[in-house]
Structure 1
């Protein structure tokens, strides 16, 4: 009653909402001190909560989903979206606004919601510091701010919220130290602070966290030892301190914490040994991950009884000795022991493999780069058929390869390289129908290369080099239509090169047939390898002319024909190989002149034509301007060139010298006049082009951007530290970094220049990205082309940092061993699909020069902090002249499962190929299944898998999480109210048709997606 009487006068006072709030707090306190009326106190509390929520809304600058539109005076605040009140007092107990992309700062007035127990603002864009006023929430139990932009130090006042059970601050930008006051939260059970920038030591006060179950602080900058006080946490089940700078040894008492289920400490500098009885005192341990540290000593003998262990990863440490019986590891899935010093190079080293036959769930066994000796026993074939990867490379294993190894029919990877195996390849290897990587190089294998190799239809890397194989290369190796790497060098092979090899359209990285006894000519069909990067047929007995068709291998970077008997001239068609970096034609019988066109090659760094019969003038530009990069010895009729080559000058002889001089003078005058005319035409066309480009491009080209130095990148990534490594691919590694010049977190793609094709990927990506600009394409900020501190060549591209990683991490976190993010609901998936389609529409329809991406897949779709999708990785894209229509004669590499079927038959790349990849990506997002899923066999694929259930039984194939509350799955497998899903599946199926002519084009796709978004998206956001 008193409050009702006071209300009119209070609202007449000239004061702000802040002052009004403080006045209400003062009145409440006064009434409580002087015998408060219970009804009055409740009403004052309600007003406090109401005004605190309004202040929270006031600091939200962007609400893309309109979630806070319901926060108005027409409804009671307890009915506002995201607000839950208790029924008795009508006070706010829960504030749940997860994943709505809200942008703003957190109001300190949230600290006035004194009854709140649950605060969830995960997956938004809140920035600034976490208000210290939140420490007033004495009833707070759950504090969830995962994946925001929050900065500043850990809020010390939060340690006064003594009821807290869960703190999740992962994925922010917090700095400073973990406060020592954290020990006051004695009811805390879950503590996530990973993926921040926290530094300092782990405070000893954690010993007071008596209720803690999960303690996760990976991917920070923590230093020092793991404190002994952690051993006081008797309820602790999970410790995650990976990717930090921790050092010292594990406290010995840690091995006595019987409650532990997981220890993750990989990528640190921790050392020491593991106690022999470790798995007796840790009976519940399931995952032990300490890879890339400095541990040494023996693997604990007690591992023989670790029946709960599922993942044991000690890769890249200094462990030694032999392994004991592991037969009781019946739950183990991953044993990663590579890159240590295990084994004594004795016959007993591999006896433990017999015991692994009891491990029926084993999926990966990594034993490479150790010191294992002995031979493989026949029992190897009794290992689990679930085994997917088997790594034996770089050891001392000898003897014959057991034929029983062929029983492991589900292997996708088998490496036996650099051992001492002898004998022939077992015929049972023909059963490896899922094998993708087969590496047998660096052994003493002999006999012929078996013809069943042609039956390995899934293999894309086949390494048989550095053995003693003889006979002919089997022609049916041409059946391996997914091969990208084929290395048969340093054997005793003879005969001609089978034409079938040149029909392998996927052969894009390496074909190495060097150091054999191959004869005949290099067939003109070599020109069919349009995408090959590395071609080496050196040190054979090949003869005849160098085929002019080799100029059609336009992706070539490394061409080695030395040590043969090639004759004739150097073909002028080599001028088409614009990306060529190394050309070795030495020790042949070549005649004629060195083509002057080779001096125009901007990438050519090594040119060797020594010991031929060449004559005439040596060019002086390009690679020929550096004597250290050119080898021409043994050609006695060459002249001219730069002085460092020490060649005689090219003299003009004979009576016609004066006449020739006159003609030369006339030719020079004509050339100058022509040059001036052409120059004026070029300048005119340049300015016209510049005006056109200005209308199409929003930002400067890469050439106009300031280049960053190697020192800046080294400093910004902490010396390219592994803790900043966020991804790795064929041609480069990507690091998270901070650059002063960009005033922001960036992604730095460092090229692996020792990798064949990396330089070309760098220049292709730069060339594409400097010509295109769109909100759904990754934005290049700057680049670096320099040398590192060792004087070695260094190239990198700097992009906007995408905080939410790749789409692949969201679709398949369990497969990638990624930290599982919040699942994508249908509205988010639809938005991502629209974003990718928008990018393709720009590339195919709006660019001045058509761009074909060639490798669209989830790992190349990156998500920013707002979950906006950006298409990335243009390293194998193709710029196609607009006058050429919608196709190119340039082949692609692509990725298995996403590349259209016509590319496998040698067809030209086209926009239709990108549409196929887009369709497969859509179906993967809607079903949750990769196109390479093991369930797709015997001709089955993702398209057919969906088509069988479309449209009546989508409930059988649809990813469960994306079905909305109003779209229930019925008993017959259909989905009620599923119009949106049916429409999306229809587009995915239409785009992924086997025939390119039947596929939708991007114009129709973007139009249909726009209609779907307008019709359905609002409803889905409401329900999800």
Structure 2
């Protein structure tokens, strides 16, 4: 008995020390660890029955919190130690290496820090080492190579650095290797192929580079290969699947692997999961019909297919895959029609992603046979026809996106059968008729997007009774009529509500103030009348409010200045009167727009509104009548004068042409005044130059105001025409985002030579070009543009283009949009400038277009659209191309003429091949740094990725859509403005919420 007393006491004391290191035991599992019970009977303890020594300690999953006592090394007979899924912290004590009989060490999913102890080599019998899910750092110790019996090594989800050392080839018994979710770099060493029993290789989510070792494809023992989210490149060997007969899982998404999918994949008969998304794969997808165990296929975000009729042939073969549950092929180059045989795919299929391709034709009615679907994404294709009524059989459908296609016809009442639906997107189609009231049956619906269709009639009350709508409700840009019902107040939890740009009339119901979770409300572009309800002040979460372009009257309720989070408020073009408040959102001129309300007064000085009149207590009746008579007389006089002027103008207009500008509307300034104001056009006053002109900073006589003076170089061919074009373009164009022309000079200089100049407002913050490319940055503003500023500038430019294209008296094509032609004022508001080659749309006839194109490419190389080089006439689509390139330049920091763009490469393609999975690699480093600084701490990388997904990908997607080669496929200013403002609102919401 005495011989066993000491060993028993050793284990007993070690366990008590282990217990003392535990500070929290929420389930009370250590209550049994007391002197009234032998320690071999304590919870989680297993002993050798003869020696009464502890052989196993298993306390997995009890949320224990504490540090690991070094006394654990005294339990020398222990073979199995498992404290997984708890809250242990601190370092792994070196004393663990004294457990010479330990075979299995499970300490994963805790919060251990420090390096992996090197003296674990003392555990010579170790077969399983499971350290997954901690905060361990440093390198993987080379001493692990001495574990001859180790068959499972999992150090995943830590913060390990360095690479996978060649020592790994010495762990000869290794079957399972996982190093995923770390910061490992470098290549996979060739020595990994020494592991003849290796079956599972998980290296995903690191920074590994190079190609897979060729010998890896000859390891017939491999069943699972997971290497996604790295930087692997190269292509896959064509015969690789012939030598990997046991492969079940092949996951290599989000890398840089190119080339075709190996045809030998048809031989991978037991493959169950194929994930190659986010690479550069090209060509056709081979037949996969022999892979009858396939349950998961992800091919999305590659360059598969060639937009041909045969691209989707492989889908027919998938009807043999009876276990298929997930099929993703979005964001490729697939063309052709969806085959009718798709209805014969597995009824186990739950998720089908087809969006972002070139698929055309109609949706097969047989698709309704896939009754197991809970997600269907077909958005951003060219699909036409109607929505099949067989969709009514989707009893399990939760998310369905059909947006951005060419669907027509009515939305069928069968939509009401989709009782599990929480997201329904059918935006940007050509759907007609009424919105079916049956949608009100979708009681779980959280997001409804019917934006930009041809829907008519009134909005069904049943939809306003969907209390489940919590995120997004958008019916804008349709032809809906009627009034906004009082029932709108039932949408108490919706975040985003847009009924903009319809034909809605009547009053804004006061019940809208009951939508207490509302963050964004857009009602602009309707025929709403009456007053602005004061109940809007109840919307404490409101951040964006647009009531512009309606017939609202009365005064602006003072209480609206008490909405605490309101960052954007547009009241422009209504019939409002009275005094503008001065607090809250009303104190920020960049967040407020009251343009087009001629009876408003007061407000902050930056609004430049007239002061409000002082109200007299009494006004005699005869004074009133006299005032009315004076006003009537004045109005009659002005009308007669306007009529006479119009007749004169029309007669004069018959003699005018585009080549002969009417610049008399502009005040004239003398050559002497400009000469004096620029110190004789001194080079020290020159702030820029271009093909046809030089720009000087100066002042005008009798004024202290600093101006920019653009002097035409009339010796340059085309300079006179440039002067004419700019005068014509700007003489009637007035918009906050266009450079304002103050005066002009058409005279002779002191040498008797012809002299022409235009005088503009001086923009103290220079051009966008200077800000984007620091090598030319002015010392007055030596910093880079923030994401917020870039978004504002893009919105300003898009607003200017929309005005030029659609709202100007005569539509104007700018023809030369680029960063150097975008100027920034004191408040960093962007102003589009330089209309020297602009064209009035009314002048672009077939005859003039021939004349135009004969002189060469319109615009600047890199920004001019490709069709201008093929004798195409200038168009709004051409301006959109330039805008798209400018957007990509703003977010990548690269000019379209960058020297890296050779052999047919251009900025659009440079961005496209890295979009969206490798977007971090192409972004302007200053933007990445800004977001990184905004999200410090241990979760910096994860937060940065979230920020990129929210703020960068959406913007760059617009830039790509604007700069596609085909003019007719480019986005227009309406869509661009809408999307940019939506992104801006999300960005602002993220800043407010600290995201």
Q: After TM superposition, is the score higher than 0.5? A: yes
1:170 maps to what in 2? 132
Q: Which of 713, 717, 720 is the equivalent residue of 2:941?
A: 720
2:991 maps to what in 1? 794
1:509 touches 1:756 (CA, 8 Å); kept in 2? no
Structure 1 stretch 426-435 or stretch 370-379: which is displaced more? 426-435
2:505 touches 2:528 (CA, 8 Å); kept in 1? yes
Give the CA deviation at 1:331: 0.7
Question: 1:965-1020 CA distances to partner (integer Å, 9 max, x unpaired)?
Answer: xxxxxxxxxxxxxxxxxxxxxxxxxxxxxxxxxxxxxxxxxxxxxxxxxxxxxxxx
2:328 maps to what in 1? 366
Question: 1:842-867 CA distances to partner (integer Å, 9 max, x unpaired)?
Answer: xxxxxxxxxxxxxxxxxxxxxxxxxx
1:332 maps to what in 2? 294
SS in 2 for 1:263: strand
**1:297 paired to 2:236:** no
Question: 1:293-327 CA distances to partner (integer Å, 9 max, x unpaired)?
Answer: 22222222122222211111222222222101010
Q: Distance in 2 between matches of 1:757 and 1:140?
A: 56
SS in 1 for 2:217: helix
2:109 maps to what in 1? 147
1:809 maps to what in 2? none
1:771 maps to what in 2? none
Q: Distance in 2 between matches of 1:210 and 1:755?
A: 59
Question: 1:624-669 CA distances to partner (integer Å, 9 max, x unpaired)?
Answer: 11212222222211111111111111121547499xxxxxxxxxxx
Structure 1 stretch 175-184 or stretch 295-304: which is displaced more? 295-304
1:449 maps to what in 2? 411
> What's the TM-score once normalised by structure 2's chain length?
0.62
Q: Distance in 2 between matches of 1:75 and 1:495?
A: 79
Task: Determine which structure has more spread, i.e. the larger CA radius of gyration.
Answer: 2
> What's the TM-score once normalised by structure 1's chain length?
0.60
Q: Distance in 2 between matches of 1:500 and 1:63?
A: 52
2:657 maps to what in 1? none
1:557 touches 1:756 (CA, 8 Å); kept in 2? no
Q: Which of 567, 573, 576 is the equivalent residue of 1:614?
A: 576
Inter-CA distance 796–244: structure 2 relative to 1 (3 Å threshold):
farther
Give the CA deviation at 1:530: 2.3
Q: Which of 282, 287, 294 is the equivalent residue of 2:249?
A: 287
Inter-CA distance 725–253: structure 2 relative to 1 (3 Å threshold):
farther
Q: Which of 553, 560, 568 is the equivalent residue of 2:515?
A: 553
2:932 touches 2:940 (CA, 8 Å); kept in 1? no
Inter-CA distance 254–569: structure 2 relative to 1 (3 Å threshold):
same
2:931 touches 2:944 (CA, 8 Å); kept in 1? no
Q: Distance in 1 between matches of 2:15 and 2:412?
A: 74
1:267 touches 1:722 (CA, 8 Å); kept in 2? no
Question: 1:120-167 CA distances to partner (integer Å, 9 max, x unpaired)?
Answer: 333444443333333333332222222333332211111132221111
- How many residues get paired? 660
1:509 touches 1:757 (CA, 8 Å); kept in 2? no
Question: 1:529-555 CA distances to partner (integer Å, 9 max, x unpaired)?
Answer: 222222222222222222222222222
Inter-CA distance 542–59: structure 2 relative to 1 (3 Å threshold):
closer
**1:625 paired to 2:587:** yes
Q: Which of 212, 221, 228 is the equivalent residue of 1:250?
A: 212
SS in 1 for 2:991: strand
SS in 2 for 1:361: coil
Question: 1:18-76 CA distances to partner (integer Å, 9 max, x unpaired)?
Answer: xxxxxxxxxxxxxxxxxxxxxx6x77656655555565556556666666666666766
Q: Distance in 1 between matches of 2:380 and 2:308?
A: 17
Q: Distance in 2 between matches of 1:87 and 1:555?
A: 64
**1:436 paired to 2:633:** no
1:356 maps to what in 2? 318
Q: Distance in 1 between matches of 2:130 and 2:90?
A: 17
Question: 1:596-639 CA distances to partner (integer Å, 9 max, x unpaired)?
Answer: 11111122222222222211111111111121222222221111
1:501 maps to what in 2? 463
Counterparts of 1:630-641 in structure 2, within 5 Å, are 630-641=592-603
1:219 maps to what in 2? 181
1:581 touches 1:603 (CA, 8 Å); kept in 2? yes
1:484 maps to what in 2? 446
**1:204 paired to 2:401:** no
1:1005 maps to what in 2? none
Q: Distance in 1 between matches of 2:208 and 2:48?
A: 45
Q: Distance in 1 between matches of 2:35 and 2:142?
A: 44
2:544 touches 2:985 (CA, 8 Å); kept in 1? no
Q: Which of 195, 206, 222 is the equivalent residue of 2:157?
A: 195
Q: Distance in 2 between matches of 1:632 and 1:222?
A: 55
Give the CA deviation at 1:504: 2.0
Q: Which of 372, 396, 402 is the equivalent residue of 2:364?
A: 402
Q: Distance in 1 between matches of 2:521 and 2:327?
A: 37
Q: Distance in 1 between matches of 2:24 and 2:497?
A: 55
Give the CA deviation at 1:585: 1.9
Q: Distance in 2 between matches of 1:754 and 1:720?
A: 25
1:243 touches 1:723 (CA, 8 Å); kept in 2? no
2:232 maps to what in 1? 270
2:553 maps to what in 1? 591
Q: List runs of 5+ in structure 2 lacking aligned partners.
A: 621-929, 954-978
SS in 2 for 1:457: coil
1:531 touches 1:555 (CA, 8 Å); kept in 2? yes
SS in 1 for 2:407: strand
How large is the RMSD of aligned CA atoms in angstroms?
3.3
Give the CA deviation at 1:592: 1.3
1:304 touches 1:328 (CA, 8 Å); kept in 2? yes
Give the CA deviation at 1:383: 0.6
SS in 2 for 1:157: helix
**1:415 paired to 2:377:** yes
